[in-house]
Amino acid sequence: MFDLDHVAIQTSDIPGSVAFYKNHFGAEVIYEDQSWAFLRLGKGKLALVNPQQHPPHVAIRVDIAQLEAMAADCGQEVKAHRDGTRGIYLTDPAGNTVELINYPPDHKV
C-alpha cells in the first residue's frame, strides 16, 4: 500500500516560511534548520526546501520491501537521508518529482 507522506515546496526563506505556516495555519514544526523545515499541518506534512538542495516534490511513504523493489526496477540506489529515512526520487511522465520514502520503525515523524 502506498500512502501520501508529504508535499515539498521550495523557499529561499526557511524561517520566514515557517513563521507564515505557523501563524496562518497553526503548523507544528517537526524539524527546522537553515536548509529545510518539516511541518505538520493538520493530518498532513509539508516540507519547506531550499531550491539549491531539493526539487519540489510529492513524497509517498512505502515499506522497505516496496522501496527496494522500486529502486531495483528503476536502476537506482536507495539513499539514507540525514533524518534517518531512506528513499529514492523518481520523475513522472509530466516531469514532476516523486520521492519514495521509508521511515525506520523507531522514527518519530
Question: pLDDT, tens digit, for every residue of 22-40?
Answer: 999 999 999 999 889 999 9
Which three three-digit cell numbers place residue 43?
493530518
Dump pLDDT digits (tens) for 61-103. 999 999 999 999 999 999 998 788 999 999 999 999 999 999 9
Q: State the sign of the Cα–Cα–Cα–Cα dihedral 30, 4, 47, 84.
A: positive
Which three three-digit cell numbers place residue 6?
508529504
Q: Is 37 helix (H, G, I), strand (E, B) or coil?
A: strand
**pLDDT confidence tier of residue 109, bands split at 50, 70 and 90:** low
Dump pLDDT digits (tens) for 43-58. 999 999 999 988 999 9
pTM, two decimals, is 0.88
How many Å apart are CA 74 and CA 12, to the nearest integer?
31
The answer to whether the beta carbons of residues 98 and 57 sit under 8 Å apart is: yes
Strand partners, 7: 46, 58
Q: Which CATH superfamily is domain 3-102 in?
A: 2,3-Dihydroxybiphenyl 1,2-Dioxygenase, domain 1 (3.10.180.10)
